[in-house]
Amino acid sequence: LIPILSNGRPGDVPHIRSAYVNAQRFFKKGVHNPRILFPAVLLHDIGFGFLRKTTIPLVAGQKKIKELSHAVTALSSAYAGWILSCYGFSEGEIKAIRFCIEYGDDEELTVKSPPAEMILLHDLNFLDRFYPHRIKIALKRHTKKDFQIILKRSLTAILTPEIKEEAEKRYNRLSL
């Protein structure tokens, strides 16, 4: 996975590592299915690896970025289905993982009664915005004021109380 992710956006490898480590921290036995959660976390941004670092900056503007993210989600979902079938995941598991990938990376969860794995994936993506590897990249693209707005909006999007608490602590320690 790392060679593919390394081809994509700067920061994708640290993002996936961070999300995976945090998935292990916030995983709750009996609530989350590890065969759904962990593959979804590892594969949710794999589609960016099929884009080249040189072409990503050509996609400027919020509308184009939003359109690109839908295309990347489709690539991630398709690749996940293929790779998971190679590793003996059942059709039901693949369907559940792809469902998490397709909707768990959205700014707002629009799925009615989302599975616990999707909620955790969603929240881990927002939590990651408060980590140094993401802050460094974000401040290259946004003013400090705009980035503060993004982080505040991210705080309101997090659904899991423990993750929201950690994000708030990290936000309060920032000196933006």
User: What are 78-87's contacts with CB under 8 Å, separation 24+?
Assistant: 79/43, 79/46, 79/47, 79/50, 80/39, 80/40, 80/43, 80/46, 83/43, 84/39, 84/43
User: What is the structure's pLDDT at 55?
Assistant: 61
The pTM for the full model equals 0.88
Work out whether the CA dihedral 141, 143, 145, 148 comes out positive or negative.
positive
Task: Give residue 175's pLDDT.
Answer: 79
* pLDDT the model gives residue 78: 92
pLDDT in tens, the chain (176 residues): 667 777 666 668 889 999 999 999 999 999 999 999 999 999 998 887 777 655 666 655 555 666 777 788 888 999 999 999 999 999 999 999 999 999 998 888 999 999 999 999 999 999 999 999 889 888 888 899 999 999 999 999 999 999 999 999 999 999 77
Q: Any idea what DSSP says for residue 88? A: T
Task: Report pLDDT for 66.
Answer: 65
pLDDT at 155: 96
